[in-house]
Amino acid sequence: IDRRSGYVVSHSVRGCKLISAPLRPNFWRASTDNDWRGWRVGKIAGCWKEAPERLQTVSVRIAESAGSVTVEKAIPDSVRLTLTYTLDGAGALAVDYKLDISDRMPEPLRVGLQTCVPNTLERIAYFGKGPQENYSDRSCGAFLGLYRSTPEKFMHSYIPPQENGNRCDVRWLSLTASDGRGVQFVGAEPLSVSVWNCTQESLDKARHSNEVEPLADALTVNIDRTQTGVGGTDTWSLKARPSDQYRLLEKHYACRFTIIPCNGEAETIRNGRSLFRNQ
């Protein structure tokens, strides 16, 4: 854990690297057609795009008896984020996430954390809605179950690159190598997740699918409490934004998940059953 930023910058267990980039907050998404063409999200909520860089570390508190570290970060008078990390003797790292938003701030597009894992962990399994991508207002045709995929199949290649590949109501997500070893993210409540072979910045910047630059040795993983819906009542006005029940209009959000090493699908299923809602 980096004392200056307050973020988990690496996590390895028995020589297996579970994450390869800082676990950082993320409040934005690569704009969809409805976002930029319709409700002009950059003008209405663009402050959230750079919010992670503007967050200042307020305090870092270590509780040795509990084996935990609590980090408070804030944008004065706008946003307060509290992250608590608790590590057990088996290498399981629990992450508590609490976000408070002032009334002066517009709605974010997502509430969660983003990191990277080595691209050798190319076998994806998850228990949630699938098999296709789905969002809070586009999930009635997706069904809860155990699904397996690869990074290429997990993504959806839109002609104009944009946010893609989200899965809702995910209890757990695992990424493993060919030998079955890897990392698992288990929620205390259903999460939204996605896995990309590129960065969010690349998706947002590119205007054609061939312009998306793949990562050389990593995969981007989004672990979100929630993400705003797709919207689309029309595609050219404020009505393009999601209906109110699918917007992130709350001022307080919280979630908890555990990052845990795994070794084989049978173990990931056991971990998911034992940790989901028991954290």
In three-state form (DSSP H/G/I as H, E/B as E, the rest C), the secondary structure along 17-63 is: EEECCCCEEECCCCCCHHHHHHCCHHHHHHHHCCHHHHCEEEEEEEE
Given a contact cutoff of 8 angstroms between Cβ atoms, the answer to whether 172 and 276 are in contact is yes
State both tokens at 38. 């319709």
What's at 49, amino acid-wise? K
Cα→Cα distances 172→4, 70, 145, 224, 243, Å: 30, 24, 11, 12, 28
Question: What confidence score (pLDDT) does residue 65 get?
Answer: 84
Among 79, 17, 30, 53, which Cα is nearest to 228's? Answer: 30
- The pLDDT profile of the chain, 279 residues, written as one tens digit per residue, is 998 999 999 999 888 889 999 999 999 999 999 999 999 999 999 999 999 999 999 999 999 888 899 999 999 999 999 999 999 988 899 999 999 999 999 999 999 999 999 999 999 999 999 999 999 999 999 999 999 999 999 999 999 999 999 999 999 999 999 999 999 999 999 999 999 999 999 999 999 999 999 999 999 999 999 999 999 999 999 999 999 999 999 999 999 999 999 998 888 888 888 877 655
State both tokens at 266. 């049978």
DSSP 218-234: EEEEEEEEEE-----S-
Question: What confidence score (pLDDT) does residue 14 get?
Answer: 84
Kindly give the pairing relationship between strand 11-13 and strand 181-196. Answer: unpaired
Rounded Cα distance between 158 and 36, Å, is 15
Given a contact cutoff of 8 angstroms between Cβ atoms, the answer to whether 250 and 244 are in contact is no
- For the chain, how far is it from start to end, CA to CA, in angstroms? 21
Stated pTM of the model: 0.95
H/E element, 203: helix 200-205
Question: What confidence score (pLDDT) does residue 66 get?
Answer: 85
Q: Which residue has the tokens 């173990």?
A: 267
State both tokens at 275. 């940790």
Burial of residue 216 (CB within 10 Å: 0-12, 13-18, 19+) is: exposed
Please list, in sequence order, all residues whose beta carbon lies within 8 angstroms of the beta carbon of residue 65, skipping any fewer than 6 positions away. none
Among 116, 124, 122, 114, which Cα is nearest to 20's? Answer: 116
Question: Could you say which DSSP state residue 214 is in?
Answer: B
